[in-house]
Amino acid sequence: QVQLVQSGAEVKKPGASVKVSCKASGYTFTSYGVNWVRQAPGQGLEWMGWISAYNGNTNYAQKLQGRVTMTTDTSTSTAYMELRSLRSDDTAVYYCARWDSSGYLDYWGQGTLVTVSS
Amino acid sequence: QSVLTQPPSVSGAPGQRVTISCTGSSSNIGAGYDVHWYQQLPGTAPKLLIYANFNRPSGVPDRFSGSKSGTSASLAITGLQAEDEADYYCQSYDSSLSGHVVFGGGTKLTVL
């Protein structure tokens, strides 16, 4: 069965960086893209960007351009999301999700809580 | 401010029917892009509920249905059950945002 398992919770200080991993299993990793979506406490879903696991092409949300980098390691079927220059409003649960070519997110990771606090 | 507009909350009694609207514009839903719906139970990750406007993934009860017309889409839930209490999000694609995925702001469904 398809599974996306994310790394554990992180606590970071303002200005630091965080890198969240998302290990995929149960399907051919390079046949699908991976999206990253975050959810601030009590708020809705915010799309962060997408990476093709086939060729590494990326597409980032405009508000995060310059601070976010998404990568994949096809040898371990793992996707990564790195966010730099963290601010308090980056505190959120970060989700990875498999991207079907028809435009929807059909499987989601369990989420990783990133807390940014001095 | 979300690109797709949903009502913040809806409610209904067990057994009733509720609908959740998702209103977009000519650069997203009105441009012909598909709408997808997700259910997020408290404390859990979102789950795909409806894809490509009206299709249900395997395992989703037929009490859930989707539709789309013009610049809007709707999610209908019939025979409301207590376990349907959750947040619901619509999602589409917006051509004015350099190929970006867009979500609605979410709707909290309360089963009375």
Tens of pLDDT, residue by residue over B1-58, are: 889 999 999 999 999 999 999 999 999 999 999 999 999 999 999 999 999 999 999 9
- Percentage above 70 pLDDT, chain A: 100
Considering only CB atoms, which chain A residues are within 8 Å of B93?
103
Q: Which of B58, B101, B108 is the best mutation test for A, with the most CBs of A within 10 A?
A: B101
| pLDDT bracket for residue B100 (50, 70, 90) | confident
Model pLDDT for residues A35-86, shown as the tens digit of each residue? 999 999 999 999 999 999 999 999 999 899 999 999 999 999 999 999 999 9
DSSP codes, B54-80: TB--TT--TTEEEEEETTEEEEEE-S-
A53, B23, B24, B102 from B29: Cα distances, Å = 27, 8, 6, 10
Model pLDDT for residues A11-38, shown as the tens digit of each residue? 999 999 999 999 999 999 999 999 999 9
Considering only CB atoms, which chain B residues are within 8 Å of A44?
2, 87, 89, 103-106
Q: How far apart are CA B36 and CA B64, in angstroms?
A: 12
Q: Residues with Cβ < 8 Å from A43, sequence gap 6 or more?
A: A92
Distance from CA of A43 to the nearest CA of B (A): 8
Q: Residue B51 is nearest to which of A62, A104, A108, comparing CB atoms?
A: A104
- Which pLDDT score, from 0 to 100, does residue A100 have? 86
Residue B58: closest CA among chain A residues belongs to which residue?
Answer: A106
| pLDDT bracket for residue B99 (50, 70, 90) | low
Q: How far apart are CA B110 and CA B112, in angstroms?
A: 6
Is A41 part of the contact surface with chain B (CB cutoff 8 Å)? no
Angle at A104 between CA A54 and CA A100, to 5 degrees: 30
Q: Is A10 exposed, middle or buried (0-12, 13-18, 19+ CB in 10 A)?
A: middle
Distance from CA of A99 to the nearest CA of B (A): 11
